[in-house]
Structure 1
Amino acid sequence: MQDGMRFIPSERRRGRGAATSDSGRFERHAREAVDDGWDRNDDLPPLRTEVSEERPRSLINYVRSPDIPFDRTINPYRGCEHGCIYCFARPSHAYLGLSPGLDFETRLVARPDAPEVLARELRAQRYVPEAVAIGTNTDPYQPIERDRGIMRGCLEVLRAFRHPVGIVTKGTLIERDIDILSDMAARGLARVGISITTLDAGLSRKMEPRVPPPKRRLETIRRLSAAGIEVRLMVSPVVPGLTDHEVERLLEAGAEAGASAASWIMLRLPREVAPLWQDWLAEHYPDRAARVMARLREMHGGEVYSSQWHHRMRGDGPHAELIGKRFARAARRLGLDRRLPPLRTDLFAPPPRAGDQLSLF
């Protein structure tokens, strides 16, 4: 029941996914609101988005996970205003001393120097090009990108260096950058993944409150594809007992919109995401909460989540296997099961700078 003081009143968090601002796992002290009788909760203002700035010394993050198809990422922002309650990146906000709950979606960090830092790193003599992934932690096309333009600046750098990039997003703002992406895609340097969790607009609004509705994201697939950009439909995450019945319909909608391929990931609940998710279920779908959590525990040996390599993305057991078979069959029928060719790295070339000596040959 959500009657404790740790839960922010729903009026204050309208348009947000999480219900609490519980301290992260590294904090020595917990924060809890206390009603002293002087102020009324309904007199408090709604939660606003706050943006601070960070000047990163480096931008490329190298990863060594054996179950993901890339080895480096960049993040123009920390935190994400989209507010997806299931977001597995929420625990990263704890490293900033902030809450993986409401702080993750209301206290954002922008990195305005990201394009310049990226260019410097790409010019390093020892740098070896491989496709860089953007959007694997927080969405580069979340609402603040409209004013900040940091992601577009990074794309301009990648295009100038002829460096391959794969982007994952739920944001329709990516359509603004079709001019850059279509140019890169024509040379085998860019690919996009559009994530759609459900076709139910009402469920989407509750689960991912500041993400464009599913129908609008399908239109983004259509526009990107029409511009010659390969798009992967990402059915992610699949929520057992809540969205798993939509797998075939999602694939059919993606194929009709022009997606070239498709993939799926099961709901993941690492660290602080698990209690946030269970609070959300109790508030919005109390009649389904026990069923959803039982299914997840079946897939992870009795736990709500397992971080084991090659297991964490899909889970195990009969229900996970059934979803996988349904997905594979529908993807094959719709032509979405094909393996896309790797992005090109042989075109990489740092652009000349003012004052550089030109080659004679």
Structure 2
Amino acid sequence: MHAASGWAANVPRALGRRAALLAVAAALGGCSLWGGGGSKPVPADLGANVAVLGVRQAWTARVGTSVGAPLEVHAAGNTVTVASADGVVAAIDARTGGDVWRVNLAEALSAGVGSDGKTAAVATRGNALVALDAGRERWRQSLGAQVFTAPLVAGGRVFVLSADRTVAAFDAATGRKLWTQQRPGEALILRQGGVLRAVGDTLVVGLSGRMVGLNPDNGTVRWEAPIASPRGTNDVERLVELVGRTSREGDSVCARAFQASVGCVDTVRGGVVWTQAASGSEGIHGDAEMLFGTESNGVVTAWRRADGTRTWTTDRLKYRRLTAPLLLGRSVVVGDDSGLVHLLSRTDGSPLNRLATDGSGIGAAPVVAADTLVAVTRNGAVYGFRPD
């Protein structure tokens, strides 16, 4: 995702066992993972906000709560598409904050939302894939397992990564299933969005700790690249999963393996370029020069994309639960569990500004559309911010 111009200018197992393991995964996905058995450490004092980079709130909107589902915000052109855990899906004009369309499916969602600007797709807790066209349900298909990763809509197809590590493709116009591909993996699954994206003519998927390139026409495997490998003696210790968001620049895709490492893959030859140990649970973002990530203890880290060299870290946000970052112009943008949106310098992590929302916590990684920074809170408020 490239920075908006205004910001740049300013700066197979038994069903019972699977259900039990999914429950453990849900707990893992929601825990703070500070380490130890004591209470959560006190977050670092932020001090006074000195607005080095001028930013104003341009608009607000509302969607239902995001609590209980790993939902993502999709940005394309001037539109952001958002979904709520209780089944509201809305396309919002990022220029005004007004609805392009909105629908209430009246059923709980487990993942969403994916879109190509025409078709939007979500997954329900009842294991249904639902495709929407301009706010009207076009079709739905039953799935064999829960889905925690937002569907990918691309090339006239809807791709789904299920919790049993099945990848499936459906015709976006009719809902006809085109193919499925299932891979074995470790027993435990994170109740968290994984890796599912298009790179040229390849579908790139995270399966356990491996980044896998599939032929989008038939699901056959083109290559596999390990970012992390299972370790330990029990299911929890051996948990390894790639998590979204990812950073793509040309043929390079970089991703995080949950609580293990970050790394970059050359998607042409299907080879790992580098990996570095890192203890984070959220995805990464960056550009052709740098990558940025948030660790589970609230430390923000920058790596050089070419070779993984760590260039800086900052503990200014230590012990705050942070979202995956968004690189926007000269800012690295992260949200926290108190509802603040932090803009840090891409050069050294120093603070550029701090934006307040409704205090309920930022519920998804921020996005940018129409020169507008968009953040969604856990209570369902949608905020649009623009540079002064």
TM-score for the superposition, normalised by structure 2: 0.28
More helix by share: 1
Instruction: Say which one has the larger Rg.
Output: 1
